[in-house]
Amino acid sequence: MLLAEQIKAGDRRALAKAITLVESTRADHRQQAAALLETLMPDTGKSIRLGISGVPGVGKSTFIEAFGNHLIKQGHSVAVLAVDPTSAVTGGSILGDKTRMETLAFAEKAFVRPSPAGKTLGGVTRRTRESLLLCEAAGFDVILIETVGVGQSETAVADMTDMFLLLLLPAGGDELQGIKRGIMELADLILVNKADGDQANAANQTLSDYRAALHFMKSRFANWQPTVLACSSTQDTGIDEVWQQVIAFRAALDASGELQQNRAQQARSWMWSETAEALVSDLKCDPKVKALVPELEQAVLDGKLPATVAAQRMIDTFKS
């Protein structure tokens, strides 16, 4: 397949074209995308996959710009993808403007792709997962996935990456900034960003608050203890320390086998969520089911029919 060869050769236009293909919902495009991904599968898996999360405005894009440029200087090649559930609603995109990644977006060894628009988080994450595989086949050795800290997108991103980075704002004494415990527990590394100027002291306070808080958290991997670092994405400080943590993380989890184990489990649960989504979508398109839906939905809305009974009736109709 020509496109596959071009991607493997590192042709960026071919990569962009392939990502457009996996983002398409047209049935023939889906088929082509599936064939392409299957062909490229042996060439995937060689990158380190990093998720970058944090509340809007914490500085994720600015951090990625600084971090990405730092990595490129060291000879790495960096792909940046995004999972943005808000784009499903507003049609916008967190990387749409690319303005916060001015230099990175145009760097030869970087590839920056905005979040795909989609109706469901499931649809958006599938496309990002597939794009990640394509970027790996194209030879990018560090993949960064930015996500806005809202809803379930953090879990979705943690489920497709090796290491999850949570960015925090400097805020002295604040009640853990309203970050949910579940999100904290996903973090393999916590970064207090904007540790510069007036905010340097507050950043130090936040750093020690969270270091203390981490003692009471369960870490995700037996062989990795999450830490907290401070950095400034605009002043370029603490950026190399972050990379050193990533290297240490990879070394520890490679040695213990947890990195591979985690990826294998991610792939398996992805298979099942794909199966579930595809089945529901087939079911919803079935003419017999379609005819039944308004009546069943109404009965459930009116409280006349238990949801479980309605569901079973739809499934029985679909199977018959």
Ligand X SMILES: Nc1nc2c(ncn2[C@@H]2O[C@H](COP(=O)(O)OP(=O)(O)OP(=O)(O)O)[C@@H](O)[C@H]2O)c(=O)[nH]1
Q: Between 57 and 257, whose beta carbon lies closer to ligand X?
A: 57
Contact (CB, 8 A) for 171 and 58: no
Closest Cα to residue 68, out of 162, 19, 141? 141
Candidate ranges 8-16, 200-208, 230-238, 286-294; the one touching ligand X (CB under 6 A): 230-238
Interacting residue with ligand X among 21, 132, 148, 239 (CB under 6 A): 148
Residue 129 lies near ligand X (rule: CB under 6 A) = no
Question: Which of the listed partners (Mg ion, ligand X, none) does 147 bind, with a CB threshold of 5 to 8 Å by partner kind?
Answer: none
Residue nearer to ligand X on the CB measure, 121 or 293 = 121
> Out of 18, 52, 83, 94, which residue is the one contacting Mg ion (CB under 5 A)?
94
Minimum CB distance to Mg ion, residue 59 (Å) = 8
Is there a contact between 160 and 132 (Cβ–Cβ < 8 Å)? yes
Helix axes of 307-319 and 258-285: crossing angle, nearest 10 degrees: 80
Determine, following the binding rule CB under 5 A, whether residue 61 of this chain makes contact with Mg ion: yes
Q: Give the end-to-end CA distance of the chain in Å, rounded to a whole number.
A: 40
Transcribe 146-175 into DSSP letters.
EEESSTTHHHHHHTT-SEEEEEE---TT-S
Alpha-carbon distance of 258 to 250, in angstroms, equals: 10
Among 94, 203, 207, 230, binds ligand X (CB under 6 A): 94
Q: In this complex, which beta carbon is closest to ligand X, that of residue 130 or of residue 196?
A: 196
CB of 60 to Mg ion, least distance (A): 5
Q: Is 53 in the site for ligand X (CB under 6 A)?
A: no
Asked if residues 221 and 186 have their Cβ atoms less than 8 Å apart, the reply is: no
Residue 101: contacted member of ligand X, Mg ion, none (CB under 5 to 8 Å, by partner type):
none
Residue 37 as a binder of Mg ion (CB under 5 A): the answer is: no
- DSSP, collapsed to helix, strand or coil, labels residue 45 as coil
Identity of the residue, 150 or 222, whose beta carbon is nearer to ligand X in the bound complex: 150
Helices (H), 230-286: 239-256, 258-285
Sites of contact with Mg ion (CB under 5 A): 60-61, 94
